[in-house]
Amino acid sequence: MAFKGPSRFSRLLKAFATNENGAFSVVFIVAVLPILAMVGLAVDYSRLTKLEAQLQNMADSASVAAAVAVKTNPSANYVLKAEHFKSANTDKIDITKVNYTVTKDTTARTVTVDLSTTVGNYFGIFLGKRFSQLSTRSVANYDTLPPMELAIVFDVTGSMKYIGNGDSGSSVPVPKPGSKARQAQKGLKKFLEKLKAVADVRAALVPFATVVKIDADSTRYKPWLNWSASSVANVSTTAWEGCLVDRDKDVGPFVSQYDARYPATTCKKDHWNATRWTGSKANDVSNFTSDLGELKSRIDGLQFDGCTNITLGAYWGGVMLDPQRPIAGAANWGDRKKIMLLMSDGMNTTDRWTSIPDAGECARKESMDPLTIDTCSAIKSKNIEIYAINVVNGDPHVLEECASGPDHYFYASNAAKVAEHLEALTDEMKKRTIVRLVN
């Protein structure tokens, strides 16, 4: 066959090679490849991020479900509960197979769920990355209380020195063995230890009788003190030992200290029938502390003497929990669950407007009760829970009204039952525990 010159294909190839437009096309294709790769990786990343969020939601659901199961029944099959929640969520995500492990830590009171899976990449395959590994962890607490602040309003009147079986006619300098005071002190220390095991708790102690006593050295020149209140036994600033009595009757515990200042008074027996308050700091109101040892020492060192003013004790429990109170230290509202524990073995006998009889008797004054109940109502209106323990001879009407509900009121029929009821109180508080995600 005779040669007829270049074939049609050769001519087309030569034309493409010498065509400037063709050169531009090649350059464009080469340049756009990295852009397409980055877009592809972005698509893979977006998809993986979505899948990771779905995996985390599955883990959270499973860990909370397992923690709820353990909280409800410590012997529950929490692993099976987590598996049920994982399976129930599988059809809601774009992952077909998920590996998981579930573990429980009885000391930390947590359930941990670890999930992992392997997913194929859409575009990463072109860069040699065919698969991506995803893993996530979720930890849920069970049987734990929210952080709390606890004001222990503790009746340290003279009657607490007795057992409570009609033996209060004779005077004793210190509480009898097995007395209401000793049982309450013992029970309070155990109560705090158990509470500390399940909660981040800060506590303050508010001892009360007919007066409440604060540290005089750090407060005697504060502007919120009133040195000339009506119906109050006056005392000089320099001689003052820290005793305070009721503010005006129409002033609630959360009213600014400058609207009605705090009346300072003497601690002496002839005015308040509280001889053991004079010359001692044992019954000073304590600041909030998380130091259990310090608080236990304060509880052990309490002195018991005097008549009863439940209003004043409850009032100062509320004041201590108020972040705007004169003595700084309370947490801001909402930062901690605020709780008041009110313990009393008595009935209202003496306040700022009621004088003590010459014989030193602590006579019942029912006229004081409405102010006590109003004070407790004001405290509860600030979302403060009040638990009340009637120690053998306490006023059931007043203490029940002060408590936040029937399940917040406990009656100890004898001194030995005080510790039992404090333990029951811990169990009652634990009913309000929460299950929450740690991470």
> What pLDDT does 131 receive?
78
> Are both 154 and 223 inside the same structural domain?
yes
> Are both 206 and 101 inside the same structural domain?
no
Q: Is 1 domain-assigned?
A: no
> What pLDDT does 311 receive?
96
Separation CA 247–CA 14 (nearest Å): 107
SS3 247: coil
> Are both 334 and 410 inside the same structural domain?
yes
> What pLDDT does 15 receive?
58
Instruction: Please give the residue range of the domain that contains residue 252.
Output: 148-437
> Are both 138 and 174 inside the same structural domain?
no
SS3 8: helix
Rg (alpha carbons) of the chain, rounded to whole number: 36
> What pLDDT does 251 receive?
87
> Are both 196 and 302 inside the same structural domain?
yes
Q: Is 12 domain-assigned?
A: no
- Per-10-residue mean pLDDT of the chain, 439 residues long, equals 51 54 52 56 75 85 85 80 72 71 85 86 68 86 82 94 70 84 93 84 95 94 92 90 92 83 87 77 93 91 92 96 87 94 93 74 89 96 95 93 94 89 81 68
Separation CA 4–CA 11 (nearest Å): 13
> Are both 297 and 419 inside the same structural domain?
yes
CATH code of the domain in which 355 resides: 3.40.50.410
Closest CA to 261 of 245, 247, 280: 247
Residue written as token pair 């009652």:
428
Provide the number of structural domains found in the chain.
2
Q: Is 154 domain-assigned?
A: yes
> Are both 128 and 157 inside the same structural domain?
no
Q: Is 2 domain-assigned?
A: no
> Are both 238 and 387 inside the same structural domain?
yes
> Are both 38 and 176 inside the same structural domain?
no
> Are both 364 and 245 inside the same structural domain?
yes
Q: Is 79 domain-assigned?
A: yes
Residue 292: HSE in the Cβ half-sphere, 13 Å Cα cutoff: 13
> Where among 122, 144, 166 does a domain terminate?
144
Q: Write the CA distances from 353 to 240, 272, 342, integer angstroms.
A: 20, 12, 23
> Where among 101, 127, 144 does a domain terminate?
144
Q: Is 67 domain-assigned?
A: yes
Q: Is 13 domain-assigned?
A: no
> Are both 294 and 418 inside the same structural domain?
yes
> Are both 91 and 225 inside the same structural domain?
no
SS3 120: strand
Burial label for 2, CB within 10 Å (0-12, 13-18, 19+), is: exposed
Q: Is 378 domain-assigned?
A: yes
> Where among 100, 126, 144 does a domain terminate?
144
